[in-house]
Structure 1
Amino acid sequence: DLSLKDSWGAAGQVGVDYLINRDWLVNMSVWYMDIDTTANYKFNGTPVKDAVRLDPWVFMFSAGYRF
């Protein structure tokens, strides 16, 4: 049985679009999220409470077509 506490955190994004021609574009972006929460679970029947920190970096490359 696992439960995670709701939390608030900061997030940021930066990116750039590059127009190849009138219809096509490519995009590059980077996201960072600061996520901290508390996890409650049982280990061998004993309740455990742990601090959990997730700080992912997300890199995205995409292409778009305008029609």
Structure 2
Amino acid sequence: MNYIEIPLTKCRIFLTEKELVGLLSKDVELYKESLKRGKAFIRSKKQQQREVETFVQHKASNFRKNID
């Protein structure tokens, strides 16, 4: 069984996905907010990855130009 670890200020709790979904389903607004937050985090992470890849490609192309 997989557990989701949630670090809190003075302890850590471990819940199964079913338990977490059950808790979130009792507070629909919290569920909606957490979904929006998750999407924002994923978009941000993907954008950062694209920026790093663009930077690396740019540096590599400049390096090749300097060699030629």
- Could you say whether these structures have the same fold, taking a TM-score greater than 0.5 normalized by the shorter chain as the test? no
Q: Based on CA coordinates, which of the two structures has the bigger radius of gyration?
A: 2
More helix by share: 2
Higher RCO (Cα < 8 Å, 6 or more apart) = 1
* Higher strand residue share: 1
Tell me the TM-score normalized by structure 1.
0.21
